[in-house]
Amino acid sequence: MNIGISCYPTYGGSGVVATELAIALAKRGHQVHIISYALPMRLDTFMENIFFHEVEIASYPVLEFPLYTTALASKIVEVAKFAKLDLIHVHYAIPHATSAYLAKKIIGDKLKVITTLHGTDITLVGLEPSFLPVMKFSIEESDGVTAVSNYLKIETENHYKIQKNINVIYNFVDTNKYQKILNPDLRKVFAPKNENILIHTSNFRPVKRVTDVIKIFNQVKKENPTKLILIGDGPERSTCEKLTRDLGIDKDTFFLGKQSEIVNILSLADVFLLPSEMESFGLSALEAMSCEVPVVSSNAGGLPEVNINNKTGFCHEIGDVNEMANSVLNILNDKKLHRNMSLESRKNAVDNFSMEKIISQYEDFYKSFLENN
């Protein structure tokens, strides 16, 4: 198949999933054309069967704001024509689904449009009154629609009154790449006295509640020698750094910023923390689980579909720092429980969210529309 993929290239779930999907499809022999305003961060080297097309946005004095939606639509038309695309798969509905619809109207119905809903495009941004009618229309006009969790499917149906069938295709992880790597020397860098290590990964936005991560760590540290590693960056980082200083735990907290390769770091973790206010899926938790790391998380959104309470970790009410800290201590203080949850985490990732399993689902989904063409 000749497949177009449009996504945001930023450090976040939708861009990561779209890029990893592109790489996996290319390895299976499909021609993949990525269309975005910048090269996705996980696509940093040349790869066979993958082609990148930059969306160039014109700037004119009469235009107060860049017209990305129309520029993207024009680029999709251009690529679809010369690459003979069978379909365009857009990730994160705003504005990609709208741009794909415009492109299809220009090219004709032969170009199939697949839209994957990732989360805040539906639960936050899409519900803005200025976006809602266009979002509803663009989703319903897509040939096929997928959501990354049952939670997100239900939210979309309820908020938008969507009549079109929405298929749940979960996010995935490359379980061959994301597996535990023992590295005692690296561990000593962060935990020279063999302290326990907690890890959190996010874009440091308020919805991730990274300050809760620090508060949980502060409580755990009082009862168990522990270090905290924070991966990622964003608007809340300065606030978080100040909080660690105020609590006197800054010497035991490591802010690593954005990391393109995190398997070695995740493999150090004894527990992964994700106390988010909203998660449509929880990809960072899945990546940790694939590396045999139990997860203590909130029960927000689609997280309970990934982190199975009392099996791969524990889920708690949003903001319940005390119970989350207690769960972390339970895991750290009970070696048998920790081992069982570590193995169950890995098993859940391999059995239900492996790249091989999910990519095949996407291939079958694509074919179901192309065969009816």
CB atoms within 10 A of CB 323: 15
The answer on 14 and 143 residing in a single domain is yes
Tokens linked to 248: 């006197």
Residue 179 falls within a domain, yes or no? no
Model pLDDT, residue 11: 59
Q: Please tell me the distance from the alpha carbon of residue 364 to that of residue 373, in angstroms, as a whole number.
A: 15
Residue 79 falls within a domain, yes or no? yes
Model pLDDT, residue 43: 76
Model pLDDT, residue 45: 62
97, 349 contact by CB (below 8 A): no
The answer on 241 and 312 residing in a single domain is yes
**What are 34-66's pLDDT values in tens digits?**
999 888 877 766 788 999 999 988 777 776 667
Which residue from 66, 68, 69, 115 is spatially nearest to 92, judged by alpha carbons?
A: 115
The answer on 222 and 211 residing in a single domain is yes
Residue 177 falls within a domain, yes or no? no
The answer on 297 and 150 residing in a single domain is no
Q: Could you list the residue range(s) of the whole structural domain that residue 121 is in?
A: 2-172+354-370
* Number of domains observed in the structure of the chain: 2
Residue 315 falls within a domain, yes or no? yes
Residue 127 falls within a domain, yes or no? yes
The answer on 245 and 234 residing in a single domain is yes
The answer on 325 and 240 residing in a single domain is yes
Model pLDDT, residue 63: 65
CATH number at residue 214: 3.40.50.2000
Residue 178 falls within a domain, yes or no? no
Model pLDDT, residue 124: 64
The answer on 133 and 79 residing in a single domain is yes
Model pLDDT, residue 269: 97
The answer on 326 and 193 residing in a single domain is yes
Residue 151 falls within a domain, yes or no? yes
Residue 115: how many CA atoms within 13 Å on its side-chain side?
30
> Which residue ranges in the chain fall short of pLDDT 50?
none
The answer on 252 and 144 residing in a single domain is no
The answer on 327 and 220 residing in a single domain is yes
The answer on 339 and 364 residing in a single domain is no
Model pLDDT, residue 15: 84
How many degrees, rounded to 5, is the angle at CA 294 between CA 293 and CA 299? 135
Model pLDDT, residue 306: 97
Hey, what amino acid is at 271? Answer: V
Q: Please tell me the distance from the alpha carbon of residue 97 to that of residue 91, in angstroms, as a whole number.
A: 8
The answer on 280 and 254 residing in a single domain is yes
Model pLDDT, residue 338: 98
Model pLDDT, residue 12: 66
Residue 256 falls within a domain, yes or no? yes
